[in-house]
Each structure stands twice: as structure tokens, then as C-alpha cells.
Amino acid sequence: MTPSDDDILALVRGWFGPVPPAKLAIALSGGGDSVALLHILTRAFAPGQVQLFAATVDHGLRAEAAQEAEQAGQQAAALGVAHTVLRWRGWQGRGNLQDVARSARYDLLCDWAQAQGIGALAVAHTADDQAETLLMRLGRAAGVAGLSGIPARRLRGGVMILRPLLDIGRADLRAYLRRNGLSWAEDPSNQDLRYTRVRARAAMADLAPLDVTPAALASVARNMARADEALGWAAFEAARHASRVVAGCVVLAPRALRLMPEEIARRLLLGALGWVGGGAYPPRRRPLAALLEDLHQGRPATLAGCRVVHHRDEIWICREVKALHDARVAPGALWDRRWRVTGPQPKGCEIAALGAAGLAQCPDRAETGLPRAALEPSPAVWRGGALIAAPLAGWGAGWRAESAAEGPGFPAGLLSH
């Protein structure tokens, strides 16, 4: 049965709970879903309870984009909502256009929201988007995390991204738009069968006789999200017992790693590699499985900007020194996302990796008890090619290297997976 306006408003109100954000940004593409979201949000809350702001990203990729952004602005204005157009002109012809544009769009929207002091951004993904995402991920042989689909809430760049329409179907939103006499722009790429998402949408109709409906798939995503959270928690607990952080490395007990369920070990490694290596994308399943096998066999390995070695009966996940070739900053600046090095007479000095040649100049290196793989990528102070200090290797009076990593760190980062 098609839900009425009141049903939809109650659903969205319920989604936000008793304390909705005082300021809420809306990502308004001008397409049907986000126009509906805008309209719904203007009606869902008590007057003055939630201050709304809308923004449209003009990617400059289609001739009509600027005009559509302007139209979206008029729709927002008609509803008394402040509107901003954010322009992106960053396409350099490299990589996958859809992915690059999406990532740039979220960056622009989150930066804008933060600059306005708005902590939450609503986007208009629907139950159909969720179902299509699940189908696409089945095709990529996803695991529990992938089958959790699009999250209802996720922190990005200090802004909480909210998806209050994730339990509402696209057809129901179209009915809402028509009932309320609202117009919207159709994105022509929604018909382009070259896109996997469009093919997934077309395939949904064929799956209906099996009861594989958007609602059922959205339900699977919710179940998987709960399982994912539980696995994240178990990995966090396992990491607390079987690992420690030393000199920017994650140190693991091999026996504990061997006894853990494989999925927990896999997540623990993923979290450690992400924290130490800082890669934008996590390593894929197969290289990660190969790494786990190497570790069980006592072999050293390299993955995701990390070097993994055995040292004194423990496994050390260290930063890969080769990945730091270009990492050079002035003293006091953030180095390799995680270190801040300060000390006396910094003039003319730069911070770069200690490396093998630098380490050879540190007489007290053995006394640190740290493996070479941990010391070589550690921050060192250089002046004109001469080593001034290597705080983690015990060389250079007065210089300090402090951990300055942002974010939840390790192992807490395993919980937000």
C-alpha cells in the first residue's frame, strides 16, 4: 500500500528520534529523491525546531548542470530554505569519473557544512538505492561489511551524513512528489545501461517472483549491519588482548592471531594496516588472506604501505620505509599523518624517514629493543643531508617525536568499521 504524506512524515520524524539536529544541511541534487527529502524535512518537524540549509553541487560535467542547480535553488527558496551552489571543476580525466565526482561531492558538501557550523548532512538515498547496492555487492562477492550496504549514519570530515529515506521506496517518494505537485530533474545517466547501478535497477523486476524485493534486500542490509557491528566489536576485544602499539607499530602475539577465528584476525589486520599505513583504500580480500598466511608461516611481507616482520616471537606491523620517500616536512608539522617532531634549533632542519643509512649512525639503536623495520621508517631530523636526531632510535638530545595521529586510532578504529 502506498504510504500517505502523514505516514512518510511520521517515518522520517521517527527516524530522527526525539532530538533532531538543530541545524541540518540537505544535499539537494534536484533529482526526485532529494526534492522529496527537502519537502519532507520542511514539514516533519515543529516550527523552528530544525533549521534547514540546502546545497547543490554543480559538477560542470553536463551542459544543463548549472541551470538545474539554479532550479534546485528556486525550489529551496520557495520552501524558505537557504540554498548554496557549490562548484566542482576538479575533473582531470583520471580514474573513474563517477567515483571521483562522488568523492569530490561529499568533500565539498561536508566542508561547506562544517564551515557553516552545521554538524549533519542529509542525503536522499532510498530503499531502492540500498537494494541496488546490495545486488551490485553480491556480484562482487562481498562479505558482511559490504552486504551492510549504505550506512544510515556515517561520520565524514567531522560531519554526520544521515540517510533518513533509506527505508522508503523510490516509487513511494515519486507518489509523494506527484501528490504535492513538485517537479524534479531526471538525470539521463539513470537510464544508461553502461552503469552497473542502472542494470541492477533493471534486474530487480526479474527478482520479484523470488520475493527478492527492495524491502527484503534493505532488511538483509540491516541484519548484516548488525552482524558487522558485532564482528567489529569482537575484533576490537581481540586486539585489546592480543596487540599493543609501540613506536607507531602494531605488535601482535602470533599464537593469539592463529587461535582467532579467521574473520576476526582479518579485521584486526585490516585495522592495523589502515592505521599504520594510512591508505585511502583497504587492501582487498585476497592479498589480505595471503598476508595472514605469510604471518602464520613466519614470513615477512609488505602490504598497504606496511612492512610486517617477526621480531622476538612477535609480529610487528610497521610503516614501509619505501612509502615515505617523499614525506618531508618542517619540524613541528605533521609528518606521515602521525608524528610531530620538535626540538632545539629547528632552523634549516627537515623531518624525513631515518632510513637504513640514518639508522647506521645511531649507536644506541640496539638498546631501544625495536626491530630495524620499526626504526627505519621512524621520523628523523636532517639538516643538509646530515642526521641531527632520531628520537625513536635514541639519538639526538632534546628532540622529541610525539604521536599526533587523528581519528580513533588503533584498536578503537575497529569499532567504527
Ligand X SMILES: Nc1ncnc2c1ncn2[C@@H]1O[C@H](COP(=O)(O)OP(=O)(O)OP(=O)(O)O)[C@@H](O)[C@H]1O
Closer to ligand X at the Cβ: 40 or 341? 40
Is 32 annotated to bind a ligand? Reply is yes
Nearest to 164 by CA among 12, 9, 10, 4: 12
Closer to ligand X at the Cβ: 166 or 405? 166
Task: Give the one residue of 81, 128, 129, 247 binding ligand X; rule: CB under 6 A.
Answer: 129
Closer to ligand X at the Cβ: 57 or 381? 57
Closer to ligand X at the Cβ: 33 or 172? 33
Task: Give the one residue of 24, 29, 41, 370 binding ligand X; rule: CB under 6 A.
Answer: 29
What span, in angstroms and rounded, lies between the C-alpha atoms of 185 and 189? 12
Q: Is 123 in the site for ligand X (CB under 6 A)?
A: yes
What span, in angstroms and rounded, lies between the C-alpha atoms of 241 and 248? 18
- Minimum CB–partner distance for residue 25 and ligand X (Å): 10
Q: Is 33 in the site for ligand X (CB under 6 A)?
A: yes
Q: Is 137 in the site for ligand X (CB under 6 A)?
A: no
| Adjacency order of strands within the sheet including 243-246 | 243-246, 249-252, 314-319, 306-311, 301-303
- Minimum CB–partner distance for residue 370 and ligand X (Å): 43
DSSP 231-265: HHHHHHHHHHHHEEEETTEEEE-HHHHHHS-HHHH
Q: Is 105 in the site for ligand X (CB under 6 A)?
A: yes
| C-beta of residue 104 within 8 angstroms of C-beta of residue 92 | no
| C-beta of residue 51 within 8 angstroms of C-beta of residue 22 | yes
Q: Is 336 in the site for ligand X (CB under 6 A)?
A: no
Q: Which of residues 145-204 bind ligand X (CB under 6 A)?
A: 197
Nearest to 235 by CA among 246, 221, 250: 250
Is 211 annotated to bind a ligand? Reply is no
Which span (30-38, 151-159, 211-219, 367-375) binds ligand X, by CB under 6 A? 30-38
Q: What are phi and psi of 310, to 5 degrees?
A: -100, 135
Is 403 annotated to bind a ligand? Reply is no
Is 73 annotated to bind a ligand? Reply is no
| C-beta of residue 350 within 8 angstroms of C-beta of residue 329 | yes
Task: Give the one residue of 34, 75, 368, 378 binding ligand X; rule: CB under 6 A.
Answer: 34
Is 29 annotated to bind a ligand? Reply is yes
Q: Is 56 in the site for ligand X (CB under 6 A)?
A: yes
Q: How far is CA 284 from CA 238, 270, 281, in A?
A: 22, 10, 9
| Adjacency order of strands within the sheet including 379-383 | 350-353, 379-383, 386-389
Task: Give the one residue of 124, 134, 249, 257 binding ligand X; rule: CB under 6 A.
Answer: 124
Is 31 annotated to bind a ligand? Reply is yes
- Minimum CB–partner distance for residue 28 and ligand X (Å): 6
Closer to ligand X at the Cβ: 68 or 336? 68
- Bridge partners (DSSP) of residue 23 are 51
Q: What are phi and psi of 307, to 5 degrees?
A: -115, 125
Closer to ligand X at the Cβ: 204 or 334? 204
Nearest to 257 by CA among 316, 326, 208: 316
- Minimum CB–partner distance for residue 164 and ligand X (Å): 11
- Bridge partners (DSSP) of residue 306 are 303, 319
- Minimum CB–partner distance for residue 71 and ligand X (Å): 12
3-state secondary structure of 144: helix
**With contacts defined by CB under 6 A, how many residues of the chain interact with ligand X?**
15
DSSP3 helix / strand / coil % (the chain, rounded to 5): 45, 20, 35
Here's the x/- map for ligand X, 346-375, by CB under 6 A: it reads as ------------------------------
Q: Is 41 in the site for ligand X (CB under 6 A)?
A: no
Return the C-alpha cell found at 149: 550496504
What span, in angstroms and rounded, lies between the C-alpha atoms of 26 and 347? 47
- Minimum CB–partner distance for residue 123 and ligand X (Å): 4
- Minimum CB–partner distance for residue 85 and ligand X (Å): 9
Closer to ligand X at the Cβ: 201 or 338? 201
Binding-site ranges for ligand X (CB under 6 A): 27-29, 31, 33-34, 56-57, 102, 105, 123-125, 129, 197
Binding annotation for ATP: 29-34
Residue list, annotated binding site: 29-34
